[in-house]
Amino acid sequence: MRHLMSPLDLSVDELDELLNLANDIEKHPEKYAHACDGKKLATCFYEPSTRTRLSFEAAMLNLGGSVLGFASADSSSAAKGESVSDTIRIISCYADICAMRHPKEGAPLVASQKSRIPVINAGDGGHQHPTQTLTDLLTIRSLKGRLDNMTIGLCGDLKFGRTVHSLINALIRYPGIRFVLISPEELKIPSYIREDVLKAKQIPFTEVERLEDAIPELDVLYMTRVQKERFFNEEDYVRLKDFYILTREKLSLAKEDMLVLHPLPRVNEISVEVDDDPRAVYFKQAQYGVYVRMALILTLLGISVE
């Protein structure tokens, strides 16, 4: 039985296979409409996340399965003090697969050690959020036709943004990848990524402060939200949140076929006037998120559709 804790749990070949399956689901959704008939997905969300939870639930419903679960720790037995290990033992009796989000880092891994059903990490604190990374990779590969030989701009909160860290770790497995890291001094990429990942693996990268300077050379621009909950004081948050806003004017400097991605929700780091530009693919990205979760559920349940 397999679980998914980190995007790197999948080899490059396995990832290719998963993304191929997601693309086939996109093209022929009717083929998969009953693939999970009679199967149940448990969504165990110890902290609220409407987007990820609904994406998982939509994925299972699209496959003909059904869903059960809870949307916050208050409405689960965790409020009575039950451990994650005990909860997953019980959930294993009720469902065939589980997607778990937890504010504490490593909680889904603890669950996977006691579980009788596949566990998917749907986000554990600031640690991992593998299905977001799979979504990002599927979006880039589907719309660019490749995951290699690209210049990727990562913009905004590079210090606390776990989606950025995961994406870097996933993309460096492909040849010809170059990063442009665009952030204010206070939110620069952590040194363990700069030193232990980028420099150690000799991945070319530059660090810049101004989005305008970087945008002309990019094939993909990955925007991130400056998250309030990552700051210890309100003052720092207010000062930094508007630092990097993508506007129509800045986008006019970009290549014709550059893609703008964003894990969503956006606050104001992408101006709404950009939404209609064909390069803005963040809403398509949310759709790809459903396809890739469908592919993941099928893969972890070992269901193949002819």
Partner 1 sequence: MLNISGIHEGFVLDHIQAGMSLQIYHDLKLDRLDCTVAIIKNAKSNKMGKKDILKVECPIEALDLDILGFIDHNITVNVIKNDKIVAKKELQLPKQVKNVIKCKNPRCITSIEQELDQIFILTDPRKEVYRCKYCEEKYTNPNRR
Q: Which of 253, 276, 296, 280 is nearest to 121 (CA)?
A: 296
Of 104, 201, 228, 239, the one binding partner 1 by CB under 8 A: 104
102 binds partner 1, rule: CB under 8 A = yes
Interface size with partner 1, residues (CB under 8 A): 17
Rounded Cα distance between 226 and 52, Å, is 18
Of 192, 229, 234, 278, the one binding partner 1 by CB under 8 A: 192
Of 20, 75, 77, 85, the one binding partner 1 by CB under 8 A: 85
Rounded Cα distance between 214 and 304, Å, is 43
Amino acid 123 reads G
What DSSP assignment string belongs to 175-226?
TTEEEEEE--GGGPPPHHHIIIIIITTT--EEEES-HHHHGGG-SEEEE---
Eight-state DSSP code of residue 270: B
For the bound state, the minimum distance from the C-beta of residue 113 to partner 1, rounded and expressed in Å, comes to 9
Which run of H or of E encompasses 119? strand 119-124
Of 59, 107, 261, 300, the one binding partner 1 by CB under 8 A: 107
Give the Å distances, CA to CA, from 270 to 137, 249, 251.
21, 12, 10
Q: Binding segment for partner 1 among 78-86, 150-158, 242-250, 280-288 (CB under 8 A)? A: 78-86
Instruction: Show the binding pattern over residues 123-162: x = contacts partner 1 (CB under 8 A), - = does not.
Output: -xxxx-----------------------------------
Q: Binding segment for partner 1 among 80-88, 90-98, 271-279, 296-304 (CB under 8 A)? A: 80-88
Rounded Cα distance between 120 and 112, Å, is 8
106 binds partner 1, rule: CB under 8 A = yes
For the bound state, the minimum distance from the C-beta of residue 88 to partner 1, rounded and expressed in Å, comes to 12
110 binds partner 1, rule: CB under 8 A = yes
109 binds partner 1, rule: CB under 8 A = yes
Active site residues: 51-52, 80, 101, 129
3-state secondary structure at position 255: coil
Rounded Cα distance between 49 and 269, Å, is 20
Instruction: Show the binding pattern over residues 267-306: x = contacts partner 1 (CB under 8 A), - = does not.
Output: ----------------------------------------
Q: How long is the chain? A: 306
Place of tokens 């998982």: 56
Other CB atoms within a 10 A radius of the CB of residue 1 amount to 11
190 binds partner 1, rule: CB under 8 A = no
For the bound state, the minimum distance from the C-beta of residue 240 to partner 1, rounded and expressed in Å, comes to 21
Which run of H or of E encompasses 164? helix 162-171
Of 14, 37, 74, 105, the one binding partner 1 by CB under 8 A: 105
What residues line the site for partner 1 (CB under 8 A)?
83-85, 102-107, 109-110, 124-127, 192, 196
